[in-house]
Amino acid sequence: MTEYFPLFVDMNDKEIRVFGGGAIALRRVKSLLSFGARVTVVSPEMVEELEVLASQQEKLNLEYRRYRPSELEEEDFVLAATDDRGVNDTIYRECHHKAIPVNVASDKEKCDFYFPGIVKVGDLVVGVTAQGRDHRKAAEAVEKIRELLLRFGKECEDGTKD
């Protein structure tokens, strides 16, 4: 299995297209927006929290419709997070044909990049992945790292450590 190299990328004003409007899309959209990306979510249905977020974030656009083959052109990254494997596969093929990096949430073998668990505390940013093998293990590591960085930040504020 391929090992993925961790890489930090400037996401400010990058054009991201997310297909799917469910819980996975919501988590990823929130993370992308926190790093300044411009995100368009395409799905016939959206979870309510995405709709609320779109009303608060000018960099988030919602398109209530299905994926249309051959629609991708100017995207910097694409996330395929629909509940239809056939649609996700078509998005994957289109992205590869057009050399657009893609992450297919339902198939780790069809990912040019993994979407890490992210811990962001002040200026510190940590990305965690278990190479697509154990999401629960990665999520547990994210929480432990978050606790550690919050404790570290508090100690620095109190002047007890520098």
- pLDDT at residue 2 greater than cutoff 80: no
pLDDT-based confidence at 162, cuts 50/70/90?
very low
- Give CA angle at 93 (24, 97), nearest 5°: 125
Strand 38-42 relative to strand 15-19: parallel, antiparallel, unpaired? parallel
Portion of the chain with pLDDT greater than 70, in percent: 93
pLDDT-based confidence at 114, cuts 50/70/90?
confident
Report which secondary-structure segment, H or E, holds 26.
helix 23-34
Average pLDDT value for residue range 101-116:
90
Tell me which residue of 106, 96, 98, 97 sits closest to 19, measured CA to CA.
106
Which pLDDT tens digit goes with each residue over 18-72? Answer: 999 999 999 999 999 999 999 999 999 999 999 999 999 999 999 999 999 999 9
Which pLDDT tens digit goes with each residue over 121-160? Answer: 888 889 998 877 777 888 899 999 999 888 877 666 665 5
Average pLDDT value for residue range 6-21:
95
Q: How many residues can be counted in the chain?
A: 162
